[in-house]
A and B are shown apart, each in its own frame.
Chain A
């Protein structure tokens, strides 16, 4: 139920943002269409903790800034490697463990790996992610497990 409420609020927020028309008639249309979408997604059974993970919202505010900082750092690193005349890359493939408890946690981990330039998740299987890394250093950083542990902390209760 709380997922349905938060989905309605989110949808209407997006509607307000995108429409830019604030007359009563159009606002009423907006409310109706948002409720219709919520009703349909309730019937499709997609308004659960996976499709709409509100339990992570507050913790995501801790994780995201860190992730964005990592993205900035690895962007600069990859840009240097592209521009360097010596072309210092050492592509390799590693398997890293993904011991997050929920599927959602694993997907967040795999997505974070891909979002960071220099590492791409090729395949997610059970508790392992196959990662293509641009450099050995990048692979070692990932195997160091800081990102992994941060996501476990994010998905844990409390």
Chain B
């Protein structure tokens, strides 16, 4: 019974991870410019990789392999923001202009002034 439940849970996680990887890939095509595409790609290496690795850990059980999978997960979570940042910064410095959407007055909740930059709270 316990094994059955673990199996079902791990399959849900694996399929969910696959779904997020797929959506990340789809977003890579659907997004309009470089920076928004990077956002879509980050679905793949957070939820996608995370859910798949946790699902695999449940399949492996309490073995050495689970520990190794855990290490992969930790390394991905430390390295992927670094590489994403390096990529985005390089693009910015190479002169790729990001698309900027104007704030619409109707949707504004009077929380911030209507500027695109320097929305820093005091």
A92 on the B face (CB < 8 A): yes
User: Across the interface, do A114 and B27 meet the contact criterion of CB distance under 8 Å?
Assistant: no
User: Across the interface, do B38 and A120 meet the contact criterion of CB distance under 8 Å?
Assistant: yes
B6 on the A face (CB < 8 A): no
Chain B residue contacts of A87, Cβ below 8 A = 30
Complex CA gap A93/B39 in Å reads 13
- Bin chain B's interface residue count: 35 or more
Interface of B is mostly: helix
Known: A83-B26, A94-B119. A117 touches B42 (CB 8 A): yes
A28 on the B face (CB < 8 A): no
Interface size on A, residues (CB 8 A): 43
Complex CA gap A121/B83 in Å reads 11
User: Across the interface, do B43 and A92 meet the contact criterion of CB distance under 8 Å?
Assistant: no
Q: List residues of A (92-140) whose CB comes within 8 Å of B's CBs.
A: 92-97, 110-112, 114-123, 128, 132, 134, 136, 139-140
Q: Which of B26, B47, B98 contacts A75 (CB 8 A)?
A: B47
Closest chain A residue to B33, Cβ basis: A91
Hey, which bits of chain A sit against chain B, CB under 8 A? 14, 17-18, 20, 71-72, 75, 78-79, 82-83, 87, 89-97, 110-112, 114-123, 128, 132, 134, 136, 139-140, 143-145
Supplied contacts A17-B71, A92-B116, A115-B80, 13 more A-B pairs, CB within 8 Å: A71-B46, A75-B20, A83-B26, A89-B31, A89-B32, A92-B100, A92-B101, A93-B98, A97-B121, A111-B82, A115-B46, A132-B35, A143-B121
